[in-house]
Amino acid sequence: MSGKKEIVMSGIRPTGFLHLGNYFGAIRNYVRMQEDFDCYFMVADLHSLTTHPDTKQLKANVHRVLAENIACGLDPDKVALYCQSHVYETSELYLYLNMLAYKGELEKTTTFKDKVRQNPENVNAGLLTYPVLQAADIILHRAKYVPVGKDQEQHLEMARNYVNRFNHRYGKVFPEPLAFNYGSNLVKVPSLDGTGKMSKSENQNATLYLADEDDVIRKKVMKAKTDAGPAEPNTPKPDYIENIFDLMRLVSSEEVIGKFEQDYNSCAIRYGDMKKQLAEDMVNFISPIRNKVNAILNDEKYLRLVMEQGAEKARISAKATMLLVREVMGLNYF
């Protein structure tokens, strides 16, 4: 890492197959940012333990996330691509930040409330302090930009709070990290059924995964909710129709999108045709990535090398930050 470029950090939990939301919210940005920034991208395996205590699948999932990132264009020689648990300094910083995080605000976090609702049997302290660990990941490298989807906005706001509290109490060590997306607004890729966002573990029939086979992609897209079409020209689109247009904007050509916009506005739209087109464009987008993932996954030696090399780069930056942290905190007694 050159030390001169601005620093970028982000992570993905290994809790299942990656999907179009992960790609367009996060990975697409990673791939562009690797050219111009010092980038630290990691597989957030510690975070996954907050909701997935069973670790039988963890190794395979970690390998998959690494392979999927590389297949999407991330170059392990240009960035630090590593596994969260391999950089022990993360856990140390997490501990210090926990003393600056208050129970009341953690309990109000949207993702915490969602997780409590989904799994009331396992409301553990790690889940409550999830955003603190995420802040530690980011500021461990003193990162300024954090490429993420819209769902992570609140976590970034919390990270800025911890940074400000730390800097104020002990001395200015950290910059305020900002959520980042090329093209201003953070992205939320909707699910195909119009009821939420694409997700690794929920809503699987309405989520397009980078691992989906062509016929699965076609089936999922064709099932997307539509209606009889607008009765009046230039009617505002219902959410579930806007979602289909949104998905088309991610993978289809401007010409194709323009045609269906025009058909919609003149009440001539045939949703069957639109979905067929979208399905083919999705297949063309996903299938090359899927094929590359499978090839990379077969090379376990290469993946181990990537992880080792990534952890080494990440540790250099982490160690430098922690020296400063311990010093300003007054923890250097020697």
Write out the catalytic residue numbers: 115, 197, 200
Binding-residue pattern over the window 39 to 78 for ligand TYM, x denoting contact by CB under 6 A: -----x--x-------------------------------
Binding-residue pattern over the window 262 to 301 for ligand TYM, x denoting contact by CB under 6 A: ----------------------------------------
Structure tokens at 313: 């780069």
Q: State how far the alpha carbon of 305 is from the alpha carbons of 80, 88, 251, 290, in Å.
A: 12, 19, 33, 21
Asked if 87 is part of the footprint of ligand TYM (rule: CB under 6 A), the reply reads: no
Name 82's bridge partners: 42
Contact of 318 with 89, CB cutoff 8 Å: yes
Tell me how far, at minimum, the Cβ of 286 lies from ligand TYM, in Å: 15
Closest CA to 118 of 48, 62, 47, 201: 201
Q: Which residues contact 190 (CB under 8 A, 6 or more apart)?
A: 196, 197, 198, 243, 246, 247
Asked if 34 is part of the footprint of ligand TYM (rule: CB under 6 A), the reply reads: no
Tell me how far, at minimum, the Cβ of 42 lies from ligand TYM, in Å: 7
Q: Is the Cβ of residue 129 or residue 134 nearer to ligand TYM in the bound state?
A: 134
Q: Is the Cβ of residue 26 or residue 87 nearer to ligand TYM in the bound state?
A: 26
Counts of helices then strands in the chain (DSSP H, E) = 15, 5
Asked if 310 is part of the footprint of ligand TYM (rule: CB under 6 A), the reply reads: no
Contact of 14 with 62, CB cutoff 8 Å: yes
Tell which positions 176-205 bind ligand TYM, by CB under 6 A.
Answer: 187-189, 197-198
Q: State how far the alpha carbon of 146 is from the alpha carbons of 25, 46, 61, 159, 331, in Å.
A: 11, 19, 23, 11, 29
| Whole-number Å distance between alpha carbons of 143 and 118 | 32
Q: Total number of residues binding ligand TYM (CB under 6 A)?
A: 26
Return the residue of 73, 78, 124, 151 that touches ligand TYM, per CB under 6 A: 151
**The one segment of 20-28, 270-278, 284-292, 323-331 that binds ligand TYM by CB under 6 A:** 20-28
* Interacting residues toward ligand TYM by CB under 6 A: 9-13, 21-22, 24-26, 44, 47, 134, 137-138, 146, 148-149, 151-152, 155, 187-189, 197-198
